[in-house]
Amino acid sequence: MIVKKLHDAGLRSEHAYTAAFASIGLTVVSWMGSLKGESGGMDRADRWGIFVGEWAPTFFGLGLALAKYEE
């Protein structure tokens, strides 16, 4: 039902895959930015990288579900 609503709203599997790859790049950027820009050190940078890194599998899963719906 959610996949149908997202598809009807115009979201396609390609959009979800693009978001997944973008979030992988954002993971690296947020990790490096946190490492250099904050005083929390490596621990805080790792937490930011892991937090953003969890988005990619979600977007890939959504892309797979949309691709299956599009068939």
The tens digit of pLDDT for each residue in 50-63 reads 888 899 999 999 99
- Residue 1, in any domain of the structure: no
DSSP notation for 5-55: HHHHTT--HHHHHHHHHHHHHHHHHHHHHHHHH-TTHHHHHHHHHHHHHTH
Share of the chain above pLDDT 70, in %: 99
pLDDT score of 38 more than 80: no
Give residue 6's pLDDT band: very low, low, confident or very high (50, 70, 90). Answer: very high
Residues 6+ apart with CB under 8 A from 34: 40, 44, 45, 48, 49
CA distance 71 to 69: 5
Res 36 pLDDT > 90: no
In a domain, 26, yes or no: yes
Count the domains in the chain.
1
Q: Is residue 4 part of a domain?
A: no
Residue 7 lies in a domain: no
Tell whether 23 is covered by a domain: yes
Q: Which domain holds residue 22?
A: 12-70
Both tokens of residue 6? 């997202």
pTM attached to this predicted model: 0.81
Residue 17 vs residue 35, higher pLDDT? 17
Structural domain contains residue 36: yes
| Domain-located, residue 45 | yes
Residue 47 within a domain: yes
